[in-house]
Amino acid sequence: MYGSVYRIRPKAGKEQEIIGLMEEWERERRPKVKGAVGGMMFKLDNGGLMGVAVFDSKESYRANAADPEQDAFYQRWRALMDADPEWNDGEVISGWGSISP
């Protein structure tokens, strides 16, 4: 598996809108995205949000990133942030439990 851990800094008052867009992605976009496994979003104690996105392979992850429909979604999402997300891409090498908020 492959994915990204990312940090975002929402514009003032836009945190819930960002979360709403991620829920929209889950409902509307994820069923169309080959290899999308899941994700999570954390509200950090020191400010901002941190997310995790997981795909079944690096190829699936890269294909989604290159999809124009994903770029259109990203542009809507990015407009709600103070700066570009900090992306940390990599291979999933371990995991445990069953997590669902």
Domains of the chain: 2-91 (3.30.70.100)
Calpha distance 55→16 (Å, rounded): 25
Q: Tens digit of pLDDT for each residue in 34-91?
A: 999 999 999 999 999 999 999 999 999 999 999 999 999 999 999 999 999 999 999 9
Please state the φ and ψ torsions of residue 96, each to the nearest 5 degrees: -155, 155
Residues 85, 7: contact at Cβ < 8 Å? yes
Q: What is the pLDDT of residue 98?
A: 73
Kindly report the pTM of this predicted structure: 0.89
Nearest to residue 97, comparing CAs of 40, 31, 43, 59? Answer: 40
Residue 95 has pLDDT above 90, yes or no: no
